[in-house]
Amino acid sequence: MFIDKKFRKPRVWSNKILLEISHMFTGDVANISGWQDKDKQGRYYKDYFSNAENYVISNYESNARGFQGNIENEFFLNLEDDLPKKLIKKFDVVFNHTVLEHIFDIQKAFQNLCLLSKDIVIVVVPFLQEQHGDYGDYWRFTPLAIKKLFEKNDMKTIYINYNDSSNESIYVLAIGSSNPEKWNSIYKFESNQINQTGDIGTKILKNSLITKVLYKFGLIN
């Protein structure tokens, strides 16, 4: 199957960053709206979290049971609905990859991701990407927006990074924590752009292909 490089490259980038960090997390890990859990490079995200005690996947609706394959411990969750009480603080780590742009009630969805977790929420979202998918594609996220969403849900951003090639879609990978004091080692990662959150959006735009053209012809400055 052909995959446009504009979409593949940021996926490969986010996989690489996630693989560098995910082994640090233990306990119960949930890939929320994980579809088939595939990383599109021949692996499964379950394999990334090598020190997890348990790993589960949620999908959108129960009538799709089995459509993603025989996924062990699969459960079903609509992120726009109120979270069932039994799932509040159910997991140590909640992981969500390129899903939030497809959910219209983004405030509710992000709140639910944070409510699901005892501590860590990992999100990968598009900052610059063409509209895609016939099932709804509503939002793009600046790093500052992600930071504010974490703050609104009583979590602190402990890691944020982005790819910045000029000829591909741009993803942001961010990690929020309810216990940020536990994660000094993540703060110190060389790739962590946490101290540049306010400037990242501008840097990304300046590095994007369309923006370079606009700068070249003096249409923006």
Ordered by where they begin, the domains of the chain are: 5-216 (3.40.50.150)
Who has greater pLDDT, 12 or 218? 12
The pLDDT of residue 90 is: 98
In 3D, which of 44, 66, 64, 65 has the Cα closest to residue 55?
A: 44
Show the beta-strand stretches assigned E in 136-208.
Answer: 156-162, 170-177
Query: 62 pLDDT exceeds 90?
Result: no
CB 83 within 8 A of CB 115: yes
The residue to which tokens 């110190």 are assigned: 188
Instruction: Tell me the three state secondary structure of residue 123.
Output: strand
* DSSP, res 171: E
Q: Residue with structure tokens 């709804």?
A: 136
pLDDT at residue 24 tops 90:
yes
Long-range contact list for 104-109, CB < 8 A, 24+ apart? Answer: 104/80, 104/136, 104/138, 105/80, 106/138, 106/139, 107/149, 107/152, 108/79, 108/80, 109/79, 109/80
The pLDDT of residue 64 is 60
Q: How far apart are CA 216 and CA 221, in angstroms?
A: 9
Q: Are 215 and 221 in contact (CB under 8 A)?
A: yes
**Rounded-to-integer distance, Cα 77 and Cα 58, Å:** 6
Q: Can you give the pLDDT at residue 212?
A: 53
Is residue 155 packed enough to be buried (19+ CB in 10 Å), middle (13-18) or exposed (0-12)?
buried
Q: What is the mean pLDDT of residues 98-107?
A: 96
pLDDT at 5: 60
Tokens encoding 90: 């159910």
| Structural element, H or E, at residue 45 | helix 45-48
Confidence of residue 135 (pLDDT cuts 50, 70, 90): confident
> At residue 66, does pLDDT exceed 70?
no
Report the amino acid identity of residue 147.
Answer: K
User: Pick from 119, 186, 107, 115: which is nearest to 145 by CA?
Assistant: 107
pLDDT > 80? residue 67: no
Q: How far apart are CA 93 and CA 41, in angstroms?
A: 23
3-state secondary structure of 107: helix
Task: Provide mean pLDDT across the span 141-161.
Answer: 97
Instruction: Give me Rg for the CA atoms of the chain.
Output: 17
> Does the structure show a pLDDT above 50 at 1?
no
- The residue among 9 and 212 whose pLDDT is bigger is 9
The residue-averaged pLDDT of 151-171 equals: 91
Q: What percent of the chain has pLDDT over 90?
A: 66
Report the distance separating Cα 34 and Cα 59, nearest Å: 6
Which pLDDT value is given to residue 73?
Answer: 78
pLDDT the model gives residue 202: 63
95: which strand partners?
Answer: 31, 122
Please tell me which residue, 150 or 40, carries the higher pLDDT value.
Answer: 150
Q: What pLDDT shows up at residue 214?
A: 47
